[in-house]
Amino acid sequence: MQINLKVPDLNAGDFSHLTITRQINQVVGEFPDSSTPITLIGSSLGGLTSAYLGEKYLQVERLILLAPAFGFLSHWLSQLGTDKIQQWQQEKYLSIYHYGEKKELPLSYNFITDARQYQEHLLQRPIPTLILHGKEDEVIPIQSSRDFARSRPWVKLIELDSDHALNNVIDDIWQAIYSFLSISY
């Protein structure tokens, strides 16, 4: 079997102006013709983006989400605190540590404005979904994935002995994905 795999850079070369809407539009631009079924694999914010794509596009037939950023906005904003959020809004940009670049980069406040329009409780399309999430995730608490899966019987959550990066459980992840895709066909 031949698999066509695309790995878009969701930063699109411009992390400073990142939004969920931009990510959604970018990924949709990569979709093949509408008759081709798609499985999306997304990690962290890319996992959240994949969930919104799965809700809206019937072409998406399966989701594999690694430490998806469910509840990230409320979690993150509470960690930042009111003063830091007000400063961000006034100054328009806030330095955020970018794990891929391994350095601080400015992020526009438009990221928050855009993210507020997305409501996770509306993600109700019964699409086969596998979530792999580390029990020691320091970025997105595993409880967010537990809460998401609890009311959606089509979601399978596998809790792993790992953190947000999931680097120490790569073999477990591949085995879970293989099993999920084998069952889904």
Tens of pLDDT, residue by residue over 8-49, are 888 888 999 999 999 999 999 999 888 889 999 999 999 999
CA 61 to chain centroid: 17
Residue 57: HSE in the Cβ half-sphere, 13 Å Cα cutoff: 27
Per-residue pLDDT tens over the stretch 52-63: 999 999 999 999
SS3 86: helix
Give the Cα-Cα-Cα angle 51, 131, 37 (nearest 5 degrees).
50
